[in-house]
Amino acid sequence: MGGDNAPGDVVAGAVEAARHGGVQIMLVGDPEPVQTELARYDTEQLPISIIPSEGVLVEGEPPALALRQKPRASIFVATGMVKQGHADASVSMGSTGGAMAAAAVVLGLSQGVDRPALGGPILGVAPKTFIIDLGTNVDCRPTQLLSFAVMGDVFARQFWAVEQPRVAMLSVGAEAGKGNRQVRETTELLKKSGLNFIGNVEGDDLAAGKAEVVVCDGFVGNIVMKLTEGLGRALSGHLRDTLSGKLSSDDLDTASNELHDLNNIVHTYGGGPIFGVNGISIVGHGAGNASAVRRAIGTAKYMHDIDFVPKLNEEMAEVYARVHEGAPS
Amino acid sequence: MGGDNAPGDVVAGAVEAARHGGVQIMLVGDPEPVQTELARYDTEQLPISIIPSEGVLVEGEPPALALRQKPRASIFVATGMVKQGHADASVSMGSTGGAMAAAAVVLGLSQGVDRPALGGPILGVAPKTFIIDLGTNVDCRPTQLLSFAVMGDVFARQFWAVEQPRVAMLSVGAEAGKGNRQVRETTELLKKSGLNFIGNVEGDDLAAGKAEVVVCDGFVGNIVMKLTEGLGRALSGHLRDTLSGKLSSDDLDTASNELHDLNNIVHTYGGGPIFGVNGISIVGHGAGNASAVRRAIGTAKYMHDIDFVPKLNEEMAEVYARVHEGAPS
């Protein structure tokens, strides 16, 4: 029920996934509108069922309050099905805050994790650079940033089959010691972590793909993500003005649309996993269309197929043990 | 003597400024190479002289050490001439660290300022949005961020003739209270400052020009600036690949160069003032060419003509008095 285009696009994407994606779909939502949407498709042979829920969390609604007032909202019911083992993963197109709260409260946190995190290869120009955290956590302690590094490392290994992902801290200078207090303190932990820690990267290194995993406070990561989106939109308009009449309208559309949507997660993955919870929960962009929903479901399936959550928990335990023992990497 | 293209481009830009910019030029540097460059031009009628110095600070050289080891380096001599009243402003093409150290030590800090700052309208897509600090100061205390706000306010008033510049904090949510501890604490000061404080802006608001002055910790501002530059370079190459053969090579060059250089300061101002010191010191981009040098000199002249430094000191005193008294804005 979440997202700007629910339930229409959510149902459409789910039907596609049921037809071609090798998954069974349970649509969690207000039965009537969901049934109405579902009736548009020939689903007789498809593994699709409807699980009734009541209400929906909207963007900006305080999740803790919502959990008390709307315990049967779709996001809580869907996440609960994962917890109870009736589903292998939940997928939601928002709100992000609601999906994260549901994941944290209902699925529970991984060992060593204080709060869940969001991360992803947000830059289309560097599609193999995973940036974490993207805004969930601010004023992070160094141990939190260490946990982000592990989340990114497992993502890069499992999604991209990179054997020794390069893990870096986002900072204001490449040299060791450059940065703020948070960076310097986290650097000490990362050195002991056993991860392939390559030191600092700077803002311009992000677009150059100098590391597979870039760790930062959510305050910084959120600004990186939104600045990228904002620049993309502004440049797209600018390019359209500048090149109008000089390119075929098809070519102009292609070039300008590419710039408009510089945030890569939606395009490639449809949505991002919530990291650090004991179960799979994918949250997509609220504006995602049916195709984004379909890709988000694919991402959920992939995470299940590769045992992402157990692997993350395992590596988290190993890294924390190393850091705690102070063993050299 | 500083910058990648010194003394050639520096002399060339200075000659242009002496010819057409309404300024007297004193070239501070090793006399021999400077004289060699100067001899390329017909300067007989121009107000240009050479002031000898010894050595040059290179990028990354610790300025405090350099000040002891190379007290006659060009940046220290040039800044000293401003201090002694022999010059109205100094202009350098780097190193940034050296120029800032020289400005702080030789010119001294404005009242209420702990460390100098760098700021500027870095985004070409939002040329009337001044972002400060750009990397000089990390782990800033709220009073430092307050001083950045005043610097930006005076810049927007004096350079752009904006009567009530909109001053905003860069954060991860537009609503009051969203952000990290630093943002929340600074917000309390800004509310009392008498500035036209409009609250938080987010990363995507930067490109949309939602405020004339955006205040942030230098850690964040530096990443914003470098990410912008890095995205520009990456997108420029991408555009070139995508549109090659579909546009005339001139149009392709124009579109791709525009993206390549998304950092606007160099193009428009040639360099940025060092804010918070008792005198005018402009630091340009190390890679700046003669034209950038010429523009940086023009910026220095403009700052002198409008009495920028006294005005900044005046407003700084007023704002600090207001905040200190706790008077409502």
- The mean of the pLDDT values for chain A is 92
Is the residue at B165 inside a domain? Answer: yes
Cβ–Cβ of A181/B126 closer than 8 Å?
A: no
- Rg of chain B's alpha carbons, rounded to an integer? 20
CA distance A226 to chain B (A): 5
CA distance B99 to chain A (A): 18
* pLDDT for residue A149: 97
The secondary structure of residue B111, as a DSSP letter, is T
* Residues from chain A contacting residue B255 (CB–CB below 8 Å): 239, 242-243
pLDDT in tens, A232-257: 988 888 888 888 888 888 988 888 88
* Residues from chain B contacting residue A180 (CB–CB below 8 Å): 138-139, 217, 219
Cβ–Cβ of A224/B223 closer than 8 Å?
A: yes
* pLDDT for residue A326: 58
Minimum Cα–Cα distance from B233: chain A residue: A207
Is the residue at A3 inside a domain? Answer: no
Reported ipTM: the value is 0.92
Give the closest of A202, A203, A234 to B125, CB-based.
A234
* Residues from chain A contacting residue B172 (CB–CB below 8 Å): 135, 138, 218-219, 222-223
Backbone angles phi, psi at A117, to 5 degrees: -135, 160
* pLDDT for residue B326: 58
Residues B251 and A246 sit within 8 Å (Cβ to Cβ):
yes
Mean pLDDT of B4-33: 96
CA distance B49 to chain A (A): 37
* Residues from chain B contacting residue A225 (CB–CB below 8 Å): 203
Pairwise CA distance, residues A277 & A273, whole Å: 10
A248 or B167: which carries more pLDDT confidence? B167
Residue A161: domain span: 8-325
Minimum Cα–Cα distance from B235: chain A residue: A125
Mean pLDDT of A288-315: 95
Cβ–Cβ of B203/A247 closer than 8 Å?
A: no
* Residues from chain B contacting residue A204 (CB–CB below 8 Å): 226-227, 229-230, 233
- Residue identified by tokens 């009392």 is B192
Tell me the two tokens of residue B186.
Answer: 């600074």
| DSSP structure string for A47-102 | -EEEEE----PPTT--HHHHHHH-TTSHHHHHHHHHHTTS-S-EEE---HHHHHHH
Cβ–Cβ of B208/A228 closer than 8 Å?
A: no
Residues B152 and B312 sit within 8 Å (Cβ to Cβ):
no
Cβ–Cβ of B135/A172 closer than 8 Å?
A: yes
pLDDT in tens, B71-112: 999 999 999 999 999 999 999 998 888 999 999 999 999 988
Residues B241 and A220 sit within 8 Å (Cβ to Cβ):
no
* pLDDT for residue B1: 93
Pairwise CA distance, residues A232 & B259, whole Å: 11
Cβ–Cβ of A222/B231 closer than 8 Å?
A: no
Query: pLDDT above 90 covers what percent of chain A?
Result: 74
Pairwise CA distance, residues A98 & A292, whole Å: 19
Pairwise CA distance, residues B104 & B277, whole Å: 6
Cβ–Cβ of B229/A180 closer than 8 Å?
A: no
Is the residue at B38 inside a domain? Answer: yes
CATH number of the domain at A92, please.
3.40.718.10
- The mean of the pLDDT values for chain B is 92
Task: State yes or no: pLDDT of B165 exceeds 60.
Answer: yes
CA distance B243 to chain A (A): 8
pLDDT in tens, B185-222: 999 999 999 999 999 999 999 999 999 999 999 999 99
* Residues from chain A contacting residue B220 (CB–CB below 8 Å): 219-220, 223
Q: Which of A138, A181, A217, A225 to substitute to test the interface with B, most B CBs within 10 Å?
A: A138
Pairwise CA distance, residues B15 & B297, whole Å: 11
Is the residue at B2 inside a domain? Answer: no
Minimum Cα–Cα distance from A252: chain B residue: B243
Cβ–Cβ of B228/A233 closer than 8 Å?
A: no
In angstroms, what CA-CA distances link A195 with A117, A140, A156, A187, A322? 19, 20, 12, 12, 10
Task: State yes or no: pLDDT of B261 exceeds 90.
Answer: no
Cβ–Cβ of A203/B218 closer than 8 Å?
A: no
pLDDT in tens, B131-160: 999 998 999 999 999 999 999 999 999 999
Is the residue at B3 inside a domain? Answer: no
Pairwise CA distance, residues B106 & B131, whole Å: 26
Is the residue at A290 inside a domain? Answer: yes
Query: pLDDT above 90 covers what percent of chain B?
Result: 74
* Residues from chain A contacting residue B226 (CB–CB below 8 Å): 202-205
Domain count, chain B: 1
Mean pLDDT of B242-262: 85
In angstroms, what CA-CA distances link A182 with A15, A190, A232, B76, B187? 46, 12, 30, 33, 22
Give the least confident one: B228-242, B252-266, B291-305.
B252-266
Is the residue at A129 inside a domain? Answer: yes
CA distance A77 to chain B (A): 28
Is the residue at B81 inside a domain? Answer: yes
